[in-house]
Amino acid sequence: MSTAVPLKNDRFLRALLKQPVDTTPIWIMRQAGRYLPEYRASRKRAGSFMDLCKNPELACEVTLQPLERFDLDAAILFSDILTIPDAMGLGLYFSEGEGPRFERPVQDRQAINALPIPDPEDELRYVMDAVRTIRRDLQGRVPLIGFSGSPWTLATYMVEGSSSKDFAKVKGLLYGDPKTLHLLLEKLAKSVTRYLNAQIAAGAQAVMIFDTWGGTLTPSTYREFSLAYMQQIVDGLQREAEGRRVPVILFTKGGAQWLESMAATGCDALGLDWTINIGEAAQRVGQQVALQGNMDPCVLYAHPAAIRQQVVKIIHDFPHPTGHVFNLGHGIHQHINPEHVKVLVDTVHELGKAGKAA
């Protein structure tokens, strides 16, 4: 964006690049979502979740809602990880209480060959318009994060037709016809690269790749069918915009055993779920990358003193003077009390400041 407003708070971007910060920055996965009554009101006005995603003004409204309540250090684009498969013509819809579904899942080579690579400024224009609208309305308050699902994660939904407990169809394809699955993943890697680069061109100041289902793979299949395609995306991303670096965060849920391999992709930061101690993760990857995470979202069901205790532990366990962005280990739950989120955010800033001074 040529008319970029200078950032008033850039500690999130600085921490991702392991630069000095005055306190530990924090944002929360799914920070704009169903735990906020104002979000529920906006979604009701929109008519449906996808109608909300596809309306740039409403997507901007809900992106900014948590920033009005909490002293967060970043905004994240309000969208869905499945926008690319939807733009490929698979017919995304949401069933009440059942999550996303596709009318036309792909399960053979003919269907995969027929899939187009979407033009981000055409079929996904509503996402780019949302990015531009959010940047305009943020007025440099905090950075904006863009994102996408990883090729493997998108493929699981596209082949299964919905979320899955056993991933029988996509894993059947993986083991029974790996060449066909690679065709799909190659197409998705190209699509995600274009999509994220378009978000960066529209104004996203950091991007995150969500590999939600990478942790369901074996070590060898993770490297071949998930990490290799995230590597392609990292290699193809625009890493500079508006005169500064655009950091890239990789997050594989359940991926603690592969941190070293993930760090070697050339990303700037790794997201951690709650199944690994952040100090152990930092020891393993050194200062090659920043780390983001990693409080169990369920801590937010507890009373404020317990929330504070968990923040103390994570900040204490992180061994380096910078390179830590505080976050949950996955998205915030629907029934969390927003007052508990305020406790979390304020405690991170308070204790993170003490940690920097120590």
Question: Which letter, b or e, does each residue of 248-277 get, where b requires 16 or more Cβ atoms within 10 Å of its Cβ?
Answer: bbbbbbbbbebbeebbebebbbbbbbbebb
User: Binding residue per annotation — 80?
Assistant: yes
User: Binding residue per annotation — 330?
Assistant: yes
Q: If you write DSSP's letter for every residue of 181-211 in order, what string do you get?
A: HHHHHHHHHHHHHHHHHHHHHHT-SEEEEEE
What's the burial of 220, exposed, middle or buried (CB within 10 Å: 0-12/13-18/19+)?
exposed
Q: Which residues contact 88 (CB under 8 A, 6 or more apart)?
A: 115, 116, 118, 158, 191
User: Binding residue per annotation — 69?
Assistant: no
User: Binding residue per annotation — 205?
Assistant: no
What's the burial of 99, exposed, middle or buried (CB within 10 Å: 0-12/13-18/19+)?
exposed
Give me the active site residues, please.
30, 34, 43, 80, 157
Strand order through the sheet with 248-252? 75-76, 144-149, 206-211, 248-252, 269-271, 290-295, 324-328
User: Binding residue per annotation — 39?
Assistant: no
User: Binding residue per annotation — 33?
Assistant: yes
What's the burial of 302, exposed, middle or buried (CB within 10 Å: 0-12/13-18/19+)?
middle
Helix, strand and coil in the chain, % to nearest 5: 50, 15, 35
- SS3 for 98? coil
The C-alpha atoms of residue 304 and residue 326 are separated, in whole angstroms, by: 17
Q: Which of 184, 176, 287, 185 is nearest to 233 (CA)?
A: 185
Give yes or no for a cis peptide into 113 (omega within 30° of 0): no
- Residue 58, both tokens: 């409403």
User: Binding residue per annotation — 30?
Assistant: yes
- SS3 for 57? helix
User: Binding residue per annotation — 166?
Assistant: no
The C-alpha atoms of residue 234 and residue 57 are separated, in whole angstroms, by: 30
Q: Which of 254, 250, 251 is nearest to 215 (CA)?
A: 254
Binding site membership for substrate: which residues?
A: 30-34, 80, 157, 212, 330
